[in-house]
Amino acid sequence: MGANLIANYGEAVAMILFGIGFSNLLLQKNLIKKIIGLNIMDTATYLFLAEKGYIEGRLAPIVVNDIRSAEAYINPVPSGLVLTGIVVSVSVSALMLSLTIRLYRRYHTLDIDKISTLLKKDESMI
Amino acid sequence: MNFVQNFPFFSILLSLGSGVLTSVMNKTAARLWNTFILIVIGIMSAVLFLYLFSTGESYTFMMGHFPAPWGNEIRAGVLEAGMALFFCIVMLLSIKGGQKHIDEEIEETKINLYYIMINLLLSSLLALIYTNDLFTAYVFVEINTISACGLIMIRQNGHTIEAATRYMIMSALGSGLLLLGIGILYDITGHLLMSNIKESVAQLAQTSGYKVPLIAAIGMICVGLAVKSALYPFHTWLPDAYGYSTVSSAAILSSLVSKGYIFILIKIFYRVIGFDVILNSNVLNILFVFGLAGMIMGSVNAMQEKDIRRMIAFSSVAQIGYIYMGFGLGTTAGIVASIFHILSHASSKSLLFVSAMGLTDASGKSKRFDDLTGSGFRNPAAGIAFTMGACSMVGIPLFSGFISKLLFAQAAVENSLGKMLPTLICLAVSTVLNAIYFMKTVICIYTPIRKKTQDGFPVVKNTSSYNVVLLLMVVLNMFLGCCSQFVVNWINAGLDMFG
């Protein structure tokens, strides 16, 4: 168990980071901190994928010097997945940040629970 | 290859492309183009459905020039084609039904942006239905989320922005789990195409290799998709999102968006992991418990609401609970009942939202029950349609809700895993609660007005298209209720093709 953890320390770090990001996104009240949590969580997933694709001692999957055997290179698919994932996470972060700006302009606070209470007050006044 | 087999690819590309096109159109052109696209895709799905029904075989479609283990694939069977057709119909009816509010509530310059979101949503739903590649499914899940968020917040008020933010937070949690689950699954199987993963997983299950990572991956994928489709404890964003967004958005969100996630979950059960492995992992028991909790708690919350739209929204929480309860039964009969409930819920919930719009319009735009009193007389068409929708949700015979409750009960009785009693009890309790709050609403809208203050509400004349939409939605609902044998046979045939 312990030896496995040390051998796969990259994956272990990725899981710890995922946990940190996940709990921040779930539990923080401040919207900006939530978004930071989201980014940590996504990055942890990319670290996990990249660790899985990497094979010790092999080259990046780009043909130079005419080495054409598949054994010479690492697995390129996870890198492709990471790139796609980055695009997705950038757009989600951008959307969340723009929502945060709109909420801040309206309610002058970043605390999502305070915003909810303000909204409830609005409703009871009508 | 038959030309018809290109249709899934055409319909995804067409809706994705028209999303780009509508950004440069004015609002009338965007509306017409959107209607045209929906009808074209609906017809294509119908033709594909008939074609697949006659051949009786599903097929895979190679995207690009790389063969199976490397390239991307689309796969179509009768279930997929029928779902695509059904989603197109419900989406078209929801948009046409809420047209008046789209034009009134959204800023003049932003109306064409609304149709971009609709088109993107449609393309992502179609891709979720047809794709045979797990990572493509993840990407389109995200597109689905982002466009749904756009649908919520396009009507600008504090409530919708807050709801959209909460929705994004929950969805981000769900998609994080989903992506990590897919990552682990790719790691232990080495594939991303659904059929290849299934072969590897079957081998792993036989040799019981990678037991913990496999269970972790299944758990993460199931929980991630459950969070995204608003299973009970994760529903906090839902009432605000459905209650304050424009009517078409609410109808589409409740009847289609969450169903897209559920459909991909069914595909993962049958085509990625394999149903036996899922059963052995016990993840379904967790979904079962949360489904039961959702059935009861959603209805209890709905009873306490004083706002008609929020009440319908809480009722959605209960219905999502029904669907997950069907999964939790762990039999094919349970899954068939769940799929039927997806159809039944989509047709009755969109009907309820659209008819509630007519009632609120006849009550000075107020959504509170105090003001809605007697609105069934002020807007007769909407009143009748709402009553029919309510009957369907409660489970009166002739309507689709009755058949889905019957199927759930049958699946529960046939269940040998000891889940019969809790299912039947929760089904009964939830039905009674449903009846209480829906019949309360129906009685409320048909109570003659006594108070003087309400005399000011004018009698609203519906546009003829609105009445036609209501009629078509009722017909769709009664079709599901009356021709249920055909629908159930279709679902069974589709599930056979999955395997």
B226-240: pLDDT as tens digits? 999 989 888 888 888
Interface touch B183/A52, C-beta < 8 Å: yes
Sort out which chain B residues have CB atoms less than 8 A from A42's CB and list them. Answer: 176, 179
State how far residue A48 is from chain B, nearest Cα, in angstroms: 8
- Answer whether B135 sits within 8 Å of A81, measured CB to CB: yes
Query: What does the block give as tokens for B494?
Result: 């589709």
Tokens of B127: 């891709």
What is the average pLDDT across B437-457?
77
Greatest mean pLDDT range, B66-70, B101-105, B163-167, B450-454: B163-167
pLDDT computed for residue B454 by the predictor: 53
Split at pLDDT 50, 70, 90, the class of B282 is confident
Helix axes B158-189, A9-27, angle to 10 degrees: 160
**Residues of A with CB below 8 A from B193's CB?**
none
| Residue B189 in domain | no
**Does residue B164 sit in helix, strand or coil?**
helix
CB pairs under 8 A between A and B: 86
Confidence of residue B67 (pLDDT cuts 50, 70, 90): confident
Query: Does residue B488 belong to any structural domain of this protein?
Result: yes
Exposure class string for A62-79: b at 16+ Cβ within 10 A, else e:
eeeeeeeeeeebbbebbb
Residue B183 to chain A, least CA–CA distance (Å) = 6
Among candidates B168, B176, B186 on the partner chain, residue whose Cβ is nearest the Cβ of A96: B168
Over the stretch A31-86, which tens digit does the pLDDT of each residue have? 999 999 999 999 999 999 998 888 888 888 888 877 778 788 888 888 889 999 99
In a domain, B304, yes or no: yes
Asked whether residue B357 is assigned to any structural domain, the reply reads yes
Percent with pLDDT over 90 in chain B = 56
**Strand-pair partners of B368:** B307
CB contact under 8 A, A95 and B180: no
Please report whether residue B40 resides in a domain. no
Residue B134 lies in a domain: no
Is the confidence at residue A14, as pLDDT, over 70? Answer: yes
> Region B417-432: what's the mean pLDDT?
88
Asked if the structure places residue B39 within a domain, the reply is: no
For B391-394, the CB contacts below 8 A with 24+ separation are: B392/B344, B392/B347, B392/B348, B392/B351, B392/B477, B392/B481, B393/B315, B393/B319, B393/B348, B393/B349, B393/B352, B393/B434, B393/B438, B394/B431, B394/B434, B394/B435, B394/B438, B394/B439
Tell me, yes or no, if A34 comes closer than 8 A to chain B by beta carbon. Answer: yes
Q: Where are the domains of chain A?
A: 2-125
Q: B451: domain range?
A: 282-499
Which chain B residues are closer than 8 Å to A107 by Cβ? 158
The total of structural domains in chain B comes to 1
Note the CATH architecture for domain A2-125. Orthogonal Bundle (1.10)
The answer to whether residue B417 scores a pLDDT higher than 80 is: no
Tell whether the model's pLDDT for residue B262 goes beyond 90. yes
Helix (H/G/I), strand (E/B), else coil: A74: coil
Give the pLDDT confidence of B207-217 residue by residue, as tens digits: 888 888 999 99
What's residue B452's pLDDT? 52
